[in-house]
Amino acid sequence: MTNLPEKIYSEHQVERAKTTARVIGWFQGAGVVIGIGILFKLLGWIPLVLGAGAVGWVLFKLFGTKKSEEEERVG
């Protein structure tokens, strides 16, 4: 064991840090929502849906089952 003190921060400091972290999290979340809203407004829905579909297809091809794995299951 080390000889570190058991209590480094006071209760007030811990509660203030929790509150500050919560407020910062809310601001970050609001920023993301506003950013996505602006992106939808500027680009429109069709390019974003096509882009999301392309990303999904690439991820499926990368992490999906391979042809040899499918053939082993069947026969």
Q: What is the pLDDT of residue 17?
A: 92
Mean pLDDT of the region 11-29: 93
More confident residue, 25 or 41: 25
Q: Which phi and psi angles does 8 have, rounded to 5°?
A: -95, -40
Percent of the chain with pLDDT over 90: 29
Kindly give, in sequence order, each residue whose CB lies less than 8 Å from that of residue 67, ignoring residues fewer than 6 positions away.
Answer: none
Identify the pLDDT of residue 46: 80
Q: Would you list the domain boundaries of the chain?
A: 11-43, 44-75
Q: Which residues, in sequence order, are CB contacts of 17 under 8 Å at separation 6+? A: 9
Residue 14 contacts residue 22 (beta carbons within 8 Å): no
56: nearest Cα among 44, 48, 68, 66: 48
* Predicted confidence (pLDDT) per residue in 41-52, tens digit: 887 878 878 888
